Amino acid sequence: MAVIYQAVYRRASSLLCRLHSTYVRKMRYLNELKEDDSFCRQAQTSGAFYLFHNLSPFLQKVGRKYLVPQLSATEMKRILEKFKETEQWIEKSVLIGCSDEHIPHFALDLGTLEKSVIESELKGSFTDLRKALFVVDEKDSPLLASAQGLLRWHDSHQYCSKTGQPTQKNVAGSKRVCHASGITYYPQMSPVVITMVSDGSRCLLARQPSFPPGMYTALSGFCDIGETVEETVRREVAEEVGLEVESFRYSASQHWPLPSSCLMIACHVLVRAQQTEISMNSLELEAARWFGLEEIMEALKRDPRPSKQEDGSFLPWFPPKQAVAHHLIQEWVKQQTSRTA
Ligand SMILES: NC(=O)C1=CN([C@@H]2O[C@H](COP(=O)(O)OP(=O)(O)OC[C@H]3O[C@@H](n4cnc5c(N)ncnc54)[C@H](OP(=O)(O)O)[C@@H]3O)[C@@H](O)[C@H]2O)C=CC1
Ligand SMILES: [Mg+2]
């Protein structure tokens, strides 16, 4: 009965969907794949697969470019046969999106299979995400970030935290269930604010001891339970540099997979012009200082990597454009230049 109902529902929604935009159709299709295990299992047979090995994505270098290859279900089958593994492996994959033509995209971690064999078979290499994010095409970085974030979450939620029993993923990988307790677990991200502090004419950037030499970025911090975004911003600015936030403006957000899934919420704040003396928290930061517009524009021209000067010091540089911190800095420059024009 349930099968007939689902088939009728699918037929009705596909007729309705023809009236919708490509985007709406895609979102409805993906939602159906998450809700209906047998529909998703069937979709896996014609899907495209992105491969990972112990959470490192598979890339191919073509000339100077790094590509993120998609494998067809047939190619996947061929690779698994090489290892004398069954197609049941495909069920370990997680749904990460689909094309406009509704070809579903999955990510699969082949972590227990011999890495070098897959690499030579597919002519590419599994690359650490910290490198991969910055060498692939800009449109592919968010895809790698979300795919790895979801695979990491599944890898670390194999057991129910209440009963200790194994949890089972649904076919799409949008949740895990403990059948002993009935608890459903959903993939999680930690909200983090990233704040561009300005006093009206300068902006404040800081560095943590773990950053590469010379790299400065906007202040960041995890949201505490119960806090609003505005409260976290106010607290982090007070904690890290001892300043009082006067006004707040939301800018953008980004999923950041390092070291594990964060939802970066980027914003601009103004501090009181009469109170701009920094009192840095040296437990968290190594340096924090004000930058003028010219210095920021100069640093933006540099490649995002350490550059040592003759005296042994490093010129300031900022995170690359894949990081939302870069977007905040660019936005601040635009705002300042339009004000002074
Ligand atoms: N995409 C971008 O442009 C940028 C991204 N980021 C990301 O923002 C995140 C937070 O930045 P950061 O300034 O270090 O944060 P915080 O200033 O909040 O300090 C980090 C410390 O907070 C503690 N902490 C509290 N909650 C958590 C949690 N949910 N997960 C992990 N640690 C927690 C840990 O302390 P303890 O170890 O003592 O328990 C950790 O060392 C990082 O993941 C970083 O990669 C940062 C800047 C730019
Ligand atoms: Mg911080």
Domains and CATH numbers, the chain: 16-158 (3.90.79), 190-340 (3.90.79.10)
Distance from the alpha carbon of residue 237 to the mean position of ligand 2, in angstroms? 9
User: What is the token pair recorded at 13?
Assistant: 């929604």
Q: Is the CB of 256 inside a 6 Å radius of any atom of ligand 1? A: yes
**How many angstroms separate the CA atoms of 16 and 27, rounded?**
14
Pocket test for ligand 1, best of 205, 220, 223, 285 (most atoms within 8 A of CB): 220
Chain segment 178-227, per-residue pLDDT in tens: 999 999 999 999 999 999 999 999 999 999 999 999 999 999 999 999 99
**How many angstroms separate the CA atoms of 156 and 166, rounded?**
11
Ligand nearest to the CA of 211: 1
Mean pLDDT of 60-78: 95
Task: Report whether pLDDT(74) > 70.
Answer: yes
Task: Report whether pLDDT(1) > 60.
Answer: no
Q: Is the CB of 322 inside a 6 Å radius of any atom of ligand 1? A: no
DSSP annotation of 217: B
Residue with tokens 């930061």: 285
Write down the pLDDT at residue 14: 63
Q: How confident is the model at residue 88 (pLDDT cuts 50, 70, 90)?
A: confident
Would you say 141 and 133 are in contact if contact means Cβ atoms under 8 Å apart? yes
Q: How confident is the model at residue 72 (pLDDT cuts 50, 70, 90)?
A: very high
Q: Is the CB of 173 inside a 6 Å radius of any atom of ligand 1? A: no
Write down the pLDDT at residue 274: 86
Q: How confident is the model at residue 240 (pLDDT cuts 50, 70, 90)?
A: very high
**How many angstroms separate the CA atoms of 68 and 58, rounded?**
7
Closest-CA residue, ligand 1 atom 10, reads 221
The amino acid that residue 258 corresponds to is: L
* Shortest-distance atom of ligand 1 to CA 328: 3
Give percent above pLDDT 90 in the chain.
Answer: 88
Distance from the alpha carbon of residue 222 to the mean position of ligand 1, in angstroms? 6
Task: Report whether pLDDT(259) > 70.
Answer: yes
C-alpha distances in Å from residue 302, one per residue of 40, 73, 137, 207, 320: 46, 43, 20, 17, 10
Q: Between 86 and 116, where is the model more confident?
A: 116
The amino acid that residue 147 corresponds to is: A
Using only C-alpha atoms, what is the Rg of the chain? 24
Report the half-sphere exposure of 42 (CA within 13 A, side-chain side).
6
Distance from the alpha carbon of residue 206 to the mean position of ligand 1, in angstroms? 14
Would you say 324 and 264 are in contact if contact means Cβ atoms under 8 Å apart? yes
Q: For residues 187, 261, 53 and 79, what is the CA-based torsion angle, rounded to 10 degrees?
A: 50
Ligand nearest to the CA of 194: 1
Q: Is the CB of 129 inside a 6 Å radius of any atom of ligand 1? A: no
Q: Is the CB of 223 inside a 6 Å radius of any atom of ligand 1? A: no
Q: How confident is the model at residue 109 (pLDDT cuts 50, 70, 90)?
A: very high
- Nearest to residue 218, comparing CAs of 201, 206, 235? 206
The model's pTM is: 0.91
Q: How confident is the model at residue 87 (pLDDT cuts 50, 70, 90)?
A: confident
Task: Supply the mean pLDDT for the chain.
Answer: 94
Give percent above pLDDT 70 in the chain.
Answer: 94
